């Protein structure tokens, strides 16, 4: 059996930057073991598989795999898969502006507007806060003094739980690295996936936050753009009124990796309800064929 695969760079309009994604447009006939082996072989942070059986409420079903295991939801794979269906692949005859993808975490609606794909994330959930700055700083090889005094360390989810860590400045966040042993120990019995660091100091004047995501305990040393963490960060920024109760900002990530990404984050609180959207451009890189 042979299966086509295409390659997309997500959260960028420039090929060979942003976050890499491999997509199998016709996954029918593949079992879980085969999909996991393909994801491991490609060795990107995530690989997605598209199935035609999206169900009555969705246009397609997708499954998302890291090199080690399947994820119920991840931001850049969902957004990049939507881009490929809307712009590259000839598998969706309807070609509407809103595409609904069935993930293991539920149906995710995506909208194409002015060349940008916008993903609506779930209503946020806020979990525990962490006050032991040394324990948290040790996860990413920083000192407690590098962690902000003005904002909390908090676990937030808009589909997947993330540990949001506010860092004082750009210099500190650029020194951060993932400490695999500490991360393994800290996250072993927790629902949260990994730490998402942010600072309000940026390299690009058009960006409002600078972020980094470390998950060597999951096989990802660092991620170039993390849409599943940008959603929780958007909710966190709304909750603590960092940019007001309604904003649209740019998040810069991946710069330290040489894969600069631009993640658009839109948030609003209205009538005690959160609206969380994550958006970005994508760039087509190429295609190939795998024998299974």
Residue 95 has pLDDT above 80, yes or no: no
Domain co-membership, 204 together with 63: no
Domain co-membership, 133 together with 88: no
Three-class SS of 18-56? CEEEEEECCCCCCCHHHHHHHHHHHCCCCEEEEECCCCC
Range of the domain at 232: 125-277
Residue 112 has pLDDT above 70, yes or no: yes
Mean pLDDT of 248-272: 97
Mean pLDDT of 56-78: 93
Q: What is the CATH number of the domain that holds 178?
A: 3.10.310.10
pLDDT tens-digit map of 213-244: 999 998 899 999 999 999 999 999 999 999 99
- The helix/strand/coil state of 95 is coil
271 — phi, psi (to 5°)? 55, 40
CA distance 235 to 229: 10
Residue 61 has pLDDT above 90, yes or no: yes
Q: Are 59 and 101 in contact (CB under 8 A)?
A: yes
pLDDT tens-digit map of 19-35: 999 999 999 999 999 99
Domain co-membership, 133 together with 214: yes
CA distance 83 to 31: 24
- Residue 221: which of 264, 257, 172 has the closest Cα? 257
Residue 116 has pLDDT above 90, yes or no: yes
* Number of structural domains in the chain: 2
Place of tokens 């779930």: 122
Mean pLDDT of 10-25: 97
Domain co-membership, 144 together with 270: yes
Confidence at residue 93, expressed as pLDDT on a 0 to 100 scale: 85
As annotated, the active-site residues are: 46
């Amino acid at each position: 059996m042979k299966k086509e695969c295409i390659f997309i760079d997500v959260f960028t309009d420039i090929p060979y930057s942003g976050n890499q994604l491999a997509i199998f447009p016709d996954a029918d006939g593949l079992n879980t073991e085969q999909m996991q082996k393909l994801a491991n072989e490609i060795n990107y942070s995530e690989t997605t598989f598209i199935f035609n059986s999206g169900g009555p409420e969705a246009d397609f079903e997708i499954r998302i795999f890291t090199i080690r295991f399947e994820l119920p939801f991840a931001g850049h794979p969902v957004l990049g898969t939507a881009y490929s269906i809307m712009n590259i692949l000839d598998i969706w005859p309807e070609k509407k502006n809103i595409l609904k993808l069935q993930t293991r975490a539920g149906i995710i609606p995506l909208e194409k507007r002015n060349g940008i794909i916008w993903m609506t994330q779930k209503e946020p959930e806020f979990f525990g806060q962490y006050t032991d700055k040394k324990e948290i700083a040790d996860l990413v090889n920083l000192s407690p003094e590098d962690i902000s005094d003005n904002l909390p360390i908090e676990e937030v989810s808009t589909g997947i739980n993330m540990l949001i860590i506010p860092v004082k400045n750009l210099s500190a966040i650029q020194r951060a690295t993932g400490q695999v042993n500490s991360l393994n120990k800290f996250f072993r019995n927790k629902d949260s996936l990994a730490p998402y660091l942010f600072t309000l100091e940026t390299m690009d004047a058009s960006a409002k936050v600078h972020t980094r995501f470390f998950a060597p305990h999951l096989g990802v040393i660092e991620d170039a753009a993390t849409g599943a963490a940008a959603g929780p960060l958007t909710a966190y920024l709304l909750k603590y009124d960092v940019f007001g109760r309604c904003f649209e900002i740019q998040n810069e990530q991946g710069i330290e990796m040489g894969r600069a990404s631009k993640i658009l984050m839109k948030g609003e609180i209205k009538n005690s309800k959160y609206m969380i959207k994550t958006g970005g451009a994508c760039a087509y890189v190429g295609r190939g064929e795998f024998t299974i």
